[in-house]
Amino acid sequence: MDFGFSKEDEVFRGEVRAWLAAHVNREADRGDWERTLGKGGWIGLGWAESGYGNRTGSLTEQVVWAEEYARSGAPPRSGHIGENLFAPTLIQHGTEEQKRRFLPPVAAGEELWCQGYSEPGAGSDLAAVRTKAVREGGHHRVTGQKIWTSLAQEADWCFVLARTEEGSRRHHGLSFLLVPMDQPGRIEVRPIRQLTGTSDFNEVFFDGARAEHVVGAEGDGWRVAMSLLGFERGVSTLAQQIGFAEELRGVVEAAVRGGAVRDPLIRDRLVRQWAELRTMRWHALRTLGGADEPAAPSVAKLLWANWHQRLGELAVQVRGAQAAVGPGEWSAEEPYRIDADQHLFLFSRADTIYGGSDQIQRTIIAERVLGLPREPKGVG
């Protein structure tokens, strides 16, 4: 793919930079920031001609927006799941009534979403979900547990993959349900404390929670869920790489400042990280235009997850023993403090697990792309 930026794209880049410079507030409440983005017309650029977004951005304009957003140091998005995962899925599989109900609030930054996929016994093996939903009149009652649910403590809605056909197995008998999170006594959210001391993920317990909307046909949830995973690795991966570049720059500066750069092995690793990041960018650009490469999402996940994990290891290696020391003095009010390099190292341990583990990605490539025999059950 011949991917480049036109003069019009660069004019758009200037508009984006000017708006971000005027509006970015790193101390803003995340909900307020989403609404600011909505008022500015920046949510839903990739919704094509759905008619429910704000402005419509070309593919290259979407890339420009994602890159400039990452460069600006703007706050992390709490609306990413609704804008980039749920909305494209609803546009493809939802009814017009569902689109009218759910897309405008996402575009305005007024309703936040979380993703109810993984379970304690069904993480990377999504087809093993056990959460059940029983039809009761014109709605479903959902019972079960989801885990590693990002932003569940802030979300207004959750799209849930649940088993709606009694006795069904694997990818059969599943449905894609939309569940409002404000159901006291029916939904409980428990934050999960991580190695980093933060709680980005949650356990979510459903006890007869009400779900009035099914996206796609009942029992066709697997197809809907799989199409969503394809959206998960689109333009946003390029913005992710801008963030990676900033982290790499910090590691290089630490290596120069502390003298570790004099070690030829460290220098080799720094250069390799830079070269691999450039390779990931060109791979993302090459496959962004919808090229018929079924392995592209799995290849991209394997590339960035392992690259980021190695960067975390390198970040602490260049600092030596000092990397084991926390910033500042310990206090009862703040007993667990880590700096940016330590956070990078600890958080990146999960990169090769969440979003589809390395083992699952390699199995997808082997079976669905290379046509290799399926692994016998009970092996591995």
Catalytically active residues are 232
Nearest residue to 123 via CA among 88, 147, 157, 159 = 147
Amino acid at 266: I
Angle at 118 between CA 245 and CA 346, to 5 degrees: 40
59-72 vs 7-23: helix axis angle to the nearest 10?
30
Exposure b/e, 309-346, CB count within 10 A at least 16 = b: bbbbebbbbbbeeeeeeeeeeeeeeeeeebeebbbbbb
**Residue 352, H or E segment:** none
Question: What is the Cα Rg of the chain in Å?
Answer: 22
The token pair that represents 100 in the structure block: 């009218």
CB 133 within 8 A of CB 164: yes
Cβ atoms 271, 279 nearer than 8 A:
no
Phi, psi of 55 (to 5 degrees): -85, 160
Helix H or strand E encompassing 71: helix 59-72
